[in-house]
């Protein structure tokens, strides 16, 4: 793949090596990793949702889907988490989907849902545009990824994971039919946050993660990139003590606790999210899994549209199973 990056977007590994198995051992799991996340889940579930739903003015939907603006109480102080909820228009709901986003945030919902009977919620995680600004948490990848990194309790990713769980609760309360089956989908930032969220919430039945971030920090901290990982890598060089916090937010370590079926799209060439970290998440998964190998991530080429179409077909089939 031709490029002009001053580093190797493959991370130095061939496609064959990445696909075959882990290219490096996972970091050791902190002894209280699971108990920390279970306590975080309990905290998120105990707090009042105070959710609000109304027909969307900016995104009125279309002939097939109704769109609602949604908001609920955040966990990082007095603030609101916003987003959208999409329901089938004139059709019964039989399934639900929580759909995360990349580090650019989100400014609209999507309609390429994995079925005509799916109601979906599109939360925007705490601090990120366009729906969930926060006074002390960064509004872009480079600043968000290091916000609150002084401790595991204040780290931005902890709040983001809680946003996913609480968005699921809002969807289940607003559209009770979604309790029949609840799935998760997320890419890049949303892929990594999803991997951190899924092990501890047994309401989810299956998931898809695209080019998931935050996998295997031991590898990630040693590789240059154009994504949020670069902010973490540079901060780590000045403040190596942040490694003890990152140990609780490794999406590949979390993936070892996931038991539900997960479909992963991982790229062998990606300047923003290092490929060995992506594949580390896939290989670490503790339950049924399926891999879609992408030629590139965060980098378009001539074959990108056709490749994306093939992956969308696989995702739809996987989540319909």
Residue 148's pLDDT band, with cuts at 50, 70 and 90, is: very high
Burial 128-140 (b: 16+ CB within 10 A, else e): beebbbbeebbee
Q: How far apart are the first and last CA of the chain?
A: 35
pLDDT mean over 104-123: 96
Say if residue 321's pLDDT is above 80: no
Greater pLDDT, 320 or 39? 39
Place of tokens 């001539």: 302
* Max CA distance (Å), the chain: 56
Say if residue 99's pLDDT is above 90: yes
Chain-centre distance for alpha carbon 121? 14
Task: Of 229, 228, 171, give the one whose Cα is nearest residue 204.
Answer: 171
DSSP single-letter state for residue 125: -
Tokens of 177: 């039919």
User: Please, what are the domains in the chain?
Assistant: 15-320 (3.40.50.1820)
pLDDT mean over 176-202: 98
pLDDT of amino acid 34:
98
Say if residue 252's pLDDT is above 90: yes
pLDDT mean over 309-317: 97
pLDDT of amino acid 267:
98
pLDDT mean over 132-144: 98
Measured between alpha carbons, how far is residue 308 from residues 293, 298, 302, 305 in Å? 11, 12, 11, 5
Residue 256's pLDDT band, with cuts at 50, 70 and 90, is: very high
Distance CA 7, CA 55 (A): 47
pLDDT of amino acid 1:
85
pLDDT of amino acid 222:
97
What would the DSSP string read from start to end of 188-221?
Answer: THHHHHHHHHGGG-TTEEEEEEES--S--HHHHT
Percent of the chain with pLDDT over 70: 100
pLDDT of amino acid 18:
98
Q: What is the CA radius of gyration of the chain?
A: 18
Distance CA 81, CA 119 (A): 19
């Amino acid at each position: 793949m031709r490029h002009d990056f001053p580093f190797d977007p493959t991370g130095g590994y061939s496609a064959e090596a990445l696909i075959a198995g882990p290219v490096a051992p996972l970091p050791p799991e902190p002894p209280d990793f699971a108990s920390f996340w279970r306590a975080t889940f309990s905290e998120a579930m105990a707090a009042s949702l105070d959710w609000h739903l109304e027909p969307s003015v900016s995104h009125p939907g279309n002939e097939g889907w109704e769109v609602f603006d949604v908001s609920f109480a955040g966990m990082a102080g007095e603030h609101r988490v916003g987003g959208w909820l999409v329901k089938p228009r004139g059709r019964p709901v039989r399934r639900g989907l929580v759909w995360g986003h990349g580090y650019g945030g989100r400014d609209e919902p999507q309609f390429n849902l994995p079925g005509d009977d799916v109601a979906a919620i599109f939360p925007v995680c705490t601090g990120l545009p366009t729906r969930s600004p926060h006074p002390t948490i960064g509004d872009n990848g480079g600043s968000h990824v290091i916000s609150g990194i002084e401790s595991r309790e204040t780290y931005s990713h902890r709040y983001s994971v809680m946003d996913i769980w609480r968005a699921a609760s809002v969807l289940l309360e607003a559209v009770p039919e979604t309790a029949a089956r609840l799935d998760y989908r997320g890419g890049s930032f949303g892929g990594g946050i999803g991997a951190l969220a899924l092990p501890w919430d047994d309401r989810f039945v299956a998931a898809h993660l695209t080019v998931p971030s935050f996998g295997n920090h031991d590898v990630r901290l040693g590789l240059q990139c154009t994504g949020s990982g670069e902010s973490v890598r540079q901060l780590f060089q000045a403040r190596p003590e942040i490694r003890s916090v990152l140990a609780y937010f490794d999406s590949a370590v979390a993936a070892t606790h996931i038991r539900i079926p997960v479909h992963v799209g991982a790229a062998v060439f990606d300047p923003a999210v290092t490929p060995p970290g992506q594949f580390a998440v896939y290989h670490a998964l503790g339950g049924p899994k399926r891999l879609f190998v992408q030629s590139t991530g965060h980098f378009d080429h001539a074959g990108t549209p056709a490749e994306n179409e093939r992956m969308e077909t696989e995702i739809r089939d996987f989540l319909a199973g």
